[in-house]
Chain A
Amino acid sequence: MCRMRKTTKNLKERRIDHVSVWDILSIYAIIAIWAMMLLNVTLSVGGCVYTLHMNRSSGHTRLKKYPFVSVLVPAHNEGIVLRRTVESLLHFDYPKDKYEIIVINDNSSDNTWDIMRELESIYPEHRLICISTDKVVGGNGKSNALNIGLSASKGEIIAIYDADNTPEKDALRLLVENLVTDDRLAAVIGKFRTRNRNASLLTRFVNIETLAHQYTNQAGRYFFFRLCTIPGTNYVIRRSILEAVGGWDVKALSEDTEISFRIYRMGYYIRQLPQAVTWEQEPQYLKQWFKQRVRWARGNLYVMVKNFKYTFDPAAGKMRFDIIYYVLTYFIMFSSLIISDVIFVGGLLGLIHVHISGFSSVLWGMAILVFVFNVMLTLSMEKNEFSLLSMGLVILMLFTYAKLWVAVVAKAVWDTAMDKLFHRKVKWDKTVRYAETAGSTAAAYGGKK
């Protein structure tokens, strides 16, 4: 009897066929994502323990003599927000004769100069200086503006505030008091909060993200490794250190991260002081937010590439851990997220088939719970942030906002590659500011101004 039969693959051949590229990539993505998640969990726990400890103290250390501080505020077309910022700086509880405010009006085309003139006339008793630059001297980004301000300053301690910041009264004093108590400290950073939290859904996400980042990455890294990265605003740094490192790197889009690495290479360290708080305006719209984050990511990539050579140099000190952390984040985490998303979409379309089994929906759900609880932990350490609404926002964030990070990094990588390829000059993308209503800020402040 002759019958037509289908072919059955040999058992051994079938087993070899099961090993596909997608299986291996899937294993890599799973291991990478879970490893990063557990790392962040560890940092969160450390950050929480550190913050709980710090909250037991007011943060103040009485000084017999307060050093002179130069507060630098780089401003490029910041007319909308500058007045409020400068007025907040003028109301520091730091000794009035012991600090000056230098606003670097960096090639502005709006009414920044007029506002500064007006403020100078209103507050003649304060040392309020406005330096205006044109497109020849200035207009080359924040680093360049800060260097100009540094050259005009006289303080032995330099404080930096962005033009959209409204720090709390005791912020500067807290930072300075803690800086001078330890000679090994090169800088002390404070905490920044989102002033316009209620402006849009995006700002609510940003608010949660910034809190989680500061408690996890900053406080957590400080707790375990005594590592911190300057956040670009609300920090003080010794003038001597700045002069030793030659000021800020004008090529770096993330000048704060870049200078942090140099500080650690010099053997100093940076401390995080959560009691020193400033409130800043975050981008309300996706386009502005995306531009800002791409700039930050490009800056971080620049710093990572510039400092990668020190990864295996023992003399570089603890900075090596930061490089490894950035590599893990920008390469391992980024690639694993892309791979997992591709496999997910490909699997849905029936184009990709992964043979690995054993990962149940329960585990996927547990991962989401870990993420949510992780973020809720950071929110629990803030006033008016821990709520069911916040939990709902966190869950929503996971499936929406968090996914944008991949696009941000992808764009940053692309732009960086294009800059290198076509030898383009690094361009600083200004973050657009918005006038805030009372409603968008009052709740965020919690009634505080």
Chain B
Amino acid sequence: MSSATRYKRILLIVLSILALCLSQPTRVFAADNTETADFLVIIPDVLDNASKNTLHSVLAELTCLQKTADVQSGEEAKTSLSSYSDIILITPVEDELPDALADGSWEKKQDHQLMVIGRMPDAIAAAFGLETKQISDGGISGTASCTFAANQIVQQSISLTTPVYCPGAEETNGSIDLGEITLPLCSFYSNKRLAYICLDDCASNFGRMLLADQITDWQWPYENAPNQYTGYIVLTDIYPFTDPERLLTYVQYLIDNNAAFVLDVMPLYEHANYPAYTQLCEVLRYAQSEGGAVILHAPVVQNGLESDELMENVTEAFTSLTDQGVYPLALDVPESWILKPEAGDLLRSFRTLFITEDGTFDTLIGSDTKALSSFIRNGNQLVFPSLTANDSGLTYVDCYATAMRISIDDSEEEIHSFIDIAVNSDIPMQSLWNISMALYLNDGIYATYDGSTLIVNGEKKLLNYTPSETNGDFDYQRTIYYRAIANLKGTNRILITISLIVIILFCVLIIRSRRQMHRIFLEKNFIRYNDEPTETDPTPDVPNAENNEKSERKEN
């Protein structure tokens, strides 16, 4: 074999291998459709309003607890029941129960846990060796009460359609006062393998707080109380044009009261070097140095989300803060963004997310459980809106992190009152600086915090505050071009005003000229004046002037 032939053969082999490698299809890591959720939620075939509300509340609280759930009817659950070890039954109908639940075979497994919300079916009770006692044949009203976070007792008027009492509970929480008798609100049986919440409709905040608390308790495997999560004091609506003096007074008040707090700052994209913004950032830096944390509010989007645009805007807003020595630790996003794929990249860029209520959570929940599960599996550290039972704004749940929000636009009395109540309550509060964070944005910008050291773009950042020096006159460096642009925007109004004045003037002149035309052509008595004759020649020679005088009359 000649060297040329050998060379060609080797080359052919190498190219073949290369082609084979390049022809490998790109592996796509799609969501695993076969992965089962943490919970199976079984709903009746026909959902009434109460059941729907309860379903939404269950899913909402499971999301806050960062648990995934599959929702199925009894019929659908017959084949999938064996894949789940935790089941929640919402207002179950006796005849619709899956066979494995009805005959008790599912319940026999020691690692299986079942929660019933609504009316306890006889078959389930029997499976756990319990009896059921119907309290009344028809609906009955009463008052439910329960103790929540920071030992806060909350009462709520409720109605039950066919209340069933299941005696033999090992542990109970809360109570329902029906007048003649008092029932437990939530009961645990068989070493918490069975939990029973005697509520038909969990739509209210009370219902949601109860679900959060009881599901946490139900799932907690230890003897002691479940872990408590922080309630963060969040000062919201801090815009780049917010009065820094006013912000400083509230920041100082929080610091003086030893309150851990978070400042929620709206984004700014341009002119970050202008005095208004730099002065605001002075206050933010001071707050940061005294233990306060800054979070960045997501851009307000009105015309549809676009992933690239979102990332770009947030990167710019983040940079405008970090350039001033302010380091946001989290992103504040609207709750509707959770299920929007366009926001996915952004949500994955921040480890810590604050979720803001925008009124869509209840409608979103249940509409796309897969997307919800996908969001939960991202592993973000989530801070949800607080659930409260009154106007205080304080949170009543401590089974997940919540944000207690107060707007900087509220009155000074309201803000001080809120801070005083929060600080003096038993709500667990801690600084956002106590948890780690990480974020990754465009242009390789990133920041990490491990609880002690803050790294931004590879540089260690210190949080101590040093007042910056500024001279009184800020040179805006506006060229004639920029001034012309700014003036043009203002000129718009001036030009419109000038146009209006001109049009009015024209209208006046039109009326004037039309009146004159009317008088000239239609008024018989209209008189026009003649000029005086000139002295150009002593000899008069006006042969045709007399003929024309008939049509001319002197004006008085």
Contacts and interface: CB of A to CB of B under 8 A. Distances in A.
A3 B535 CA distance: 100
A369 interface: yes
Interface stretch (B1-9, B250-258, B481-489): B481-489
5 contacts: A8-B316, A11-B319, A66-B541, A95-B541, A356-B485
A313 B506 CA distance: 36
Given A11-B320, A170-B548, A60 B506 contact: no
Given A7-B443, A60-B548, 15 more contacts: A11-B319, A15-B270, A23-B485, A27-B485, A62-B545, A64-B541, A65-B536, A94-B544, A95-B544, A180-B534, A357-B489, A358-B491, A370-B503, A377-B510, A380-B513
Q: Is the interface of B mostly helix, strand, loop or mixed?
A: helix
A224 B270 CA distance: 48
Interface of A: 1, 3, 5-8, 11, 14-15, 19, 23-24, 27, 30, 34, 38, 41, 44-45, 48-49, 51-52, 55-58, 60-66, 93-95, 170, 173, 180-181, 356-360, 362-363, 366-367, 369-370, 373-374, 376-377, 380-383, 386
Nearest to A49: B509
Nearest to A66: B541
Contact of B269 (A11, A376, A383): A11
Contacts of B535: 64
Given A11-B272, A93-B547, A377-B506, A62 B481 contact: no
A382 to B, nearest CB: 8
A63 B535 CA distance: 8
A286 to B, nearest CB: 30
Contacts of A65: 536-537, 539-541
B495 interface: yes
Contact of B548 (A93, A180, A376, A380): A93
Nearest to A42: B502
A390 B272 CA distance: 55
Contact of B499 (A48, A51, A366, A382): A366
Question: Which of B442, B490, B547, B555: most chain A Cβ within 10 A?
Answer: B442
Given A11-B316, A95-B541, A380-B513, A38 B498 contact: yes
Interface of B: 269-270, 272, 308, 311-312, 315-316, 319-320, 440-444, 481, 484-485, 488-492, 495-496, 498-500, 502-503, 505-507, 509-510, 512-514, 516-517, 520-521, 528-545, 547-548, 551-552, 555
Given A8-B315, A11-B316, A64 B509 contact: no
Contacts of A58: 528-530, 551-552
Contacts of A30: 488
Nearest to A358: B489
Contact of B506 (A19, A63, A374): A374
Contact of B442 (A5, A48, A51, A180): A5
A366 B500 contact: yes
Contacts of B517: 55, 380-383, 386
Contacts of B540: 64-65
Contacts of A60: 530-531, 548, 552
Contacts of B513: 48, 51-52, 377, 380-381
Contacts of A48: 509, 513
Contacts of B520: 55
Contacts of A51: 513
A64 B540 CA distance: 4
A369 B499 CA distance: 8
Contacts of B315: 8
B472 to A, nearest CB: 24
Nearest to A12: B273
Contacts of A61: 530-534
Contact of A57 (B311, B444, B531, B536): B531
A290 B286 CA distance: 73
Given A95-B544, A359-B492, A369-B499, A383 B521 contact: yes
Contact of B534 (A5, A55, A64, A173): A64
A1 B440 contact: yes
Contacts of A370: 499, 502-503, 506
Nearest to A18: B485
Contacts of B516: 52, 55-56
- In the complex, the 4 A-B pairs of residues with the closest C-beta atoms, listed nearest first: A358-B489, A65-B537, A366-B499, A373-B506
Contacts of B514: 380, 386
A5 B485 contact: no
Contacts of A366: 495-496, 499-500, 503
A380 B312 contact: no
Contacts of A52: 509, 512-513, 516
B529 A57 contact: yes
Contacts of A24: 481
A63 B496 contact: no
A5 B555 CA distance: 86
A57 B506 contact: no
A363 B494 CA distance: 10
Contacts of B509: 45, 48-49, 52, 377, 380
B499 A180 contact: no
Contacts of A170: 548
B544 to A, nearest CB: 5
Contacts of A41: 502
Nearest to B538: A64
B449 to A, nearest CB: 16
B548 A367 contact: no
Contacts of A357: 489
Question: Which of B320, B488, B499, B503: most chain A Cβ within 10 A?
Answer: B499
B510 A380 contact: yes
B308 A62 contact: no
Contacts of B547: 93
A354 to B, nearest CB: 11
Nearest to A2: B440
A373 B503 contact: yes
A367 B509 CA distance: 18
Given A8-B443, A62-B545, A369 B488 contact: no
B519 to A, nearest CB: 9
Contacts of B555: 56
B12 to A, nearest CB: 34
Contacts of A44: 506
Given A369-B499, A377-B506, A381-B513, A93 B544 contact: yes
Contacts of A45: 505, 509
A369 B540 CA distance: 53
Given A5-B444, A15-B270, A64-B541, A359 B488 contact: yes
Question: Which of B269, B490, B513: most chain A Cβ within 10 A?
Answer: B513
